[in-house]
Amino acid sequence: MKLLYSWAVGLLGLTACSKENNVTPHLQAAFNQEVTLRYSQTASLPDLQAPELTLTLEDVLDQRCPPCFSPGTVQAVLAVQSQNGERQAVRLCLGCGSATGLSDSAAVQANNQRYVLTLHQVTPVDTGSGGNGPKKDKQAVLTVQR
């Protein structure tokens, strides 16, 4: 009986020490269609082999508080990379007023072309006192128009 118990505890210990697979898949996305990016995930537009544009959700700043008087804001920080490797950071915001200078959409210039990025939503929305959920659980829904 002790041997069986020791074996079960040892097996449980081995499985508890296994690493999580935190690899976020690289997505293929299309222009003018919604794409959902998880925190630190990358999408290539319009295809993976020869991307015209590459987007990475680098940060999420969630200050929303649904039960509060003011619902708050959420910002998504994206890295936008052109075909030739030039990178630029774009900050999009939901709930920000015009006085902040931030908006839910922004135009970027890359590949001698103008693209418009629009943030539609960030999930999940925390139900507590604002933004306490882990960033790794955040997802941003956006579109890229050319």
Q: What is the pLDDT of residues 2-13, one digit of tens each?
A: 544 454 445 445
Residue-wise pLDDT for 82-103, tens only, equals: 999 999 999 999 998 887 889 9
Residue 71 pLDDT grade (very low, low, confident, very high; cuts 50, 70, 90): confident
Q: How far is CA 73 from CA 53, 85, 102, in A?
A: 27, 31, 11
Quote the domain boundaries for residue 73.
27-145
Residue 21 corresponds to which tokens in the numbers above? 């697979």
Residue 30 corresponds to which tokens in the numbers above? 């299309």
pLDDT reported for residue 127: 63
Q: Tell me, yes or no, whether 94 lies in a domain.
A: yes
Q: Domains in the chain: how many in total? A: 1
Q: Tell me, yes or no, whether 20 lies in a domain.
A: no
- Closest among 133, 7, 29, 125 to 78, alpha carbons compared: 29
Q: Tell me, yes or no, whether 104 lies in a domain.
A: yes
Q: Tell me, yes or no, whether 10 lies in a domain.
A: no
Residue-wise pLDDT for 16-36, tens only, equals: 554 445 557 899 999 999 999
Task: Look up residue 7 and give its amino acid.
Answer: W
Q: Tell me, yes or no, whether 16 lies in a domain.
A: no
Q: Tell me, yes or no, whether 17 lies in a domain.
A: no
